Amino acid sequence: MVTLGTATAAPGEMDTGRLEVGETRDGSPVGLPVAVVNGADDGKTLYLQAASDGDELNGVGVIQRTLPQIDPGALSGTILVCGIVNYHAFQIAEHRNPIDDTKMNRAYPGDESGTSSERIAAATYDAAISADLVVDLHQGSTSRMIEEVRVRCGSRHRLHTECLELAKVFGCGYILDQKGPDGQLARAAPDEGVPTIDPELGGCVGWDEESIQTGVDGVFNVLTHYGFLDGHSSLQPQARATGFEQYGSPVGGVVDFQVELGDRVSRGQTLFEVTDVFGGSKAEITADSKGVFWRSRRLPQVATGEYVCSVGTNLDTY
C-alpha cells in the first residue's frame, strides 16, 4: 500500500484524499487535496505538486488533465500528488498565504510546529523527499512569461546534472539554470538527494490552455523517460539561460513593448518605451545584454522604479 494523507492505494490502484495541516480560523480541518497512483509494477516515485503560489492555476490544470489519463495498471512505480499546496491563498486567488503573508516557495523545508506556511511546507516536503523525482508546477504568476523550467540548486550542487536532465526531459524549450533563493522547494529537495525542477508554465490570470498542455506533455515526458510508462520521449535541445536581468521603469507612464515574449534581443536593442498619458515619449529602455525576452508585466501603467520586464541572459544550448 502507498499512503499520502488519507489517500491509500494498493498496487494497480489510485486513490484521492486529504493531507491535513492544522485548522482554519473556524476550526475546520485544513486538508490539502492529494492523490496517490500506485503502479501495478515496481519503479521510481514521482512527487508532483501545484499551486504552491495560490494564484498559479496552470499546474492545477495540468494535474486535472494528467491524472485521468494514467492507468495504474500500466504504471511502473508510484506518483504522489498534492493538487493545491497553498490552501489558504488558493481560496482567495492570491499569491501569498494570507494567514502569515508568506510566499510558500520561500518556506521550504518548512517546520511542522512553525507558521501556517512552514507547516504546509513541512507536510509537503515529507512527501517530496520520499520520492525519487520532484516536479513543482509554477508559472510566472499573473504576469506574461515564456514557458520554461527552472533548475534552482546551483551549478556546483552535486545533483545539478540530475536536475538539469529532469528539466531537459520535461522539455519546455527553455531552462533557467540559476541558484534560487533560500526556501524554494527546488533548492531544498536536492540537498536531500532528490532531483527537483520548477516548471514555469507561462503566466496568466486563471488558466491558459496552451501552457497547461505544455505541462501535461512535460509530465508524460517525465513518466516515459524515467520508466513509469512504456514509450519513448526524445530529448530536445533546450535554450538555457544562466543569467536573468530585470528592468524597471525610470519614469512613470504607460509601457509600450517593442519586443515579444521569446524574441532574441541584442545588446542596445529597445525593449520598451514609456509614454505619458497624452502619447508623448518619456523614455526608451534598451537591453544591457543580449538574451531572450523572458517575462513582462501585464498592466501597461508603471510608476518610477516599478518592475517592467526580464531578459534571460548568458544563453547556451543544453
Which residues make up the interface to Zn ion (CB under 5 A)? 53, 56, 138
Comparing CB distances to Zn ion, the nearer of 17 and 203 is 203
Question: Residue 233 Cβ, how far from Zn ion at the closest point, in Å?
Answer: 25
Question: 69-74: long-range contacts (C-beta < 8 A, 24 or more apart)?
Answer: 69/220, 70/14, 70/37, 70/223, 70/229, 72/9, 72/11, 72/12, 72/13, 72/14, 72/37, 72/38, 72/39, 72/40, 73/12, 73/40, 74/39, 74/40, 74/229, 74/230
Q: What is the largest CA-CA distance in the chain?
A: 67
Question: Residue 169 Cβ, how far from Zn ion at the closest point, in Å?
Answer: 21
Comparing CB distances to Zn ion, the nearer of 56 and 162 is 56
Question: Residue 200 Cβ, how far from Zn ion at the closest point, in Å?
Answer: 7
The rounded distance, in Å, linking the Cα atoms of 64 and 50 is 10
The H or E element that residue 100 is part of is: none
Phi first, then psi: give them for residue 211, nearest 5 degrees. Answer: -65, -40
The rounded distance, in Å, linking the Cα atoms of 267 and 111 is 44
Residue with the shortest CB distance to Zn ion: 138
Question: Residue 52 Cβ, how far from Zn ion at the closest point, in Å?
Answer: 6
Comparing CB distances to Zn ion, the nearer of 105 and 249 is 105
Comparing CB distances to Zn ion, the nearer of 138 and 187 is 138
Question: Residue 309 Cβ, how far from Zn ion at the closest point, in Å?
Answer: 18
Residue that the C-alpha cell 501597461 belongs to: 300
The rounded distance, in Å, linking the Cα atoms of 68 and 238 is 29
Sign of the C-alpha dihedral computed for residues 25, 28, 33 and 38 taken in this order: positive
Question: Residue 73 Cβ, how far from Zn ion at the closest point, in Å?
Answer: 34
Comparing CB distances to Zn ion, the nearer of 56 and 208 is 56
Cell of 3: 499512503
